[in-house]
Each structure stands twice: as C-alpha cells, then as structure tokens.
C-alpha cells in the first residue's frame, strides 16, 4: 500500500452557506465548487490547499451520516482522507492486517473518486478514508 498524500480533510458543518465564509473570506482559500453526493446524503464544498483540500460536508437528510455525526459531536473535523495509488490493493492489505473496515470494497465519492472508510475503532478514533483519483 502506498499513501501518496493527504487528499482532503472532511469538516462537518450545519450549513455550507453559513460555514464557507471562514474558509474563503477569512483564510482566503479559493472556493472551488460544490457537489451533492446523493448516495451519502451529503453536499460537499471544496477549498484546495496545495495538493490537498478542505472539504465542507453538509447533510442533505436528517438520517445521513453527517447529520448523525453533528448530533453526537457537533460541527468539526469528521474524517481524514489519504490518497492511495491502488485502493483495492490497499483494502486487501489492510484486511490481511486485521484492520476493521467500513467498506470492504470501494464506492464512488465526490469528484468521481473511488473511496472507502476504515472503522474508527481500528484507528484510535479517527475516521480514515482512502481515496483513489
Ligand atoms: Zn472524504
């Protein structure tokens, strides 16, 4: 498994409209667009930082994973995504190492990326996403 870089940091917000001002106006990051991923009940907004980006996540449904996260923990960093060269190979390697996975095989994320989540119980509390673009 080869991790190439941090792909993005996912930040759960109640509202992208209300939350994006800090990242664009205060920090001066470029707002690179929004995308809704219906399957994950989430709307995302992207702010590139070098080769990585901050990704704001707003739930589109009260039972979505982001809504549940905010209900439990409030707004804040929800996951860290590492870009890998081969996500299938990475998942199979992690499985062999006994790492508990949320996704045994990749699914489609924002921007057409292949993504998969590791279980936070296996990572000392960090929701880790693997991502291949
Ligand atoms: Zn992500």
Domain ranges for the chain:
3-132
Residues 7 and 52 sit within 8 Å (Cβ to Cβ):
yes
Residues 114 and 107 sit within 8 Å (Cβ to Cβ):
yes
**Between β-strands 42-49 and 76-84, what pairing exists: parallel, antiparallel or unpaired?**
unpaired
Residues in contact with 16: Cβ distance below 8 Å, sequence separation at least 6, in sequence order? 34, 43, 45, 56, 58
Interval between CA 9 and ligand 1 midpoint (Å): 7
Using CA atoms, how far apart are residues 70 and 23, in angstroms rounded to an integer? 19
**pTM reported for the whole predicted model:** 0.93
Q: Specify the fold of 3-132.
A: 2,3-Dihydroxybiphenyl 1,2-Dioxygenase; domain 1 (3.10.180)
Residues 78 and 57 sit within 8 Å (Cβ to Cβ):
yes
Which pLDDT value is given to residue 112? 85
Neighbours of 110 (CB within 10 A): 22
Interval between CA 40 and ligand 1 midpoint (Å): 11
Interval between CA 128 and ligand 1 midpoint (Å): 9
What string of DSSP letters covers 56-69?
Answer: EEEESSTTSHHHHH
Two tokens, residue 27: 């920090």
Interval between CA 80 and ligand 1 midpoint (Å): 7
State which residues have CB under 5 angstroms from ligand 1, the bound ion.
10, 81, 129
Which pLDDT value is given to residue 10? 97
Which pLDDT value is given to residue 42? 95
Mean pLDDT split into 10-residue runs, the chain, 133 residues: 97 96 97 92 96 97 96 97 98 97 93 93 94 96
Which pLDDT value is given to residue 67? 97
Residue 1 buriedness (CB in 10 A; 0-12 / 13-18 / 19+)? middle
Which pLDDT value is given to residue 123? 94
Which pLDDT value is given to residue 130? 98
Residues 79 and 128 sit within 8 Å (Cβ to Cβ):
yes
């Amino acid at each position: 498994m080869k991790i190439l870089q941090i792909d993005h940091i996912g930040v759960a917000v109640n509202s992208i409209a209300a939350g994006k001002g800090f990242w664009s106006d205060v920090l001066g990051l470029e707002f690179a667009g929004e995308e809704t991923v219906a399957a994950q009940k989430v709307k995302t907004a992207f702010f590139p930082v070098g080769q990585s980006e901050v990704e704001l996540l707003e739930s589109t449904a009260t039972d979505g994973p982001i809504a549940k996260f905010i209900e439990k923990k409030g707004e804040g960093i929800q996951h860290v995504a590492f870009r890998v060269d081969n996500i299938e190979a990475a998942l199979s390697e992690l499985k062999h190492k006994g790492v508990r996975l949320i996704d045994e095989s990749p699914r489609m994320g924002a921007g057409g990326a292949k993504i998969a989540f590791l279980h936070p119980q296996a990572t000392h509390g960090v929701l880790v996403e693997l991502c291949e673009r």
